[in-house]
Amino acid sequence: MTAVTLPWLNPKEPDRAREGRRKVTDPLLVHTRLRGAINRTTWNIKAWTPALAGAVVIPPLPKK
């Protein structure tokens, strides 16, 4: 797994600059070939939606 550090907005300090925000490091469950975070649109279109359709959780995807 690959660890990624993200800055999160602290609700108690909403006006704090990005550099001053609390940082959280967590492992990515899945990542790109370059060990980066996967774009959410790419994940939804290329992986998640076809998996749900294959498991018959959603209707089959239209043929292209």
Q: pTM for this structure? A: 0.50
Tell me: the pLDDT tens digits for 12-22? Answer: 666 777 677 77
Tell me: the pLDDT tens digits for 18-64? Answer: 677 777 787 878 888 888 888 889 899 989 999 999 999 999 888 87
What are the backbone dihedrals phi and psi of residue 27, each rounded to the nearest 5 degrees, phi first? -80, 145
Residue 43: which residues within 8 A CB-CB, separation 6 or more? 30
pLDDT band (50, 70, 90) for residue 10: low
49 is written with which tokens?
Answer: 């939606």
DSSP state of 20: G
Residue pair 43/36 in contact by the 8 Å Cβ criterion: no
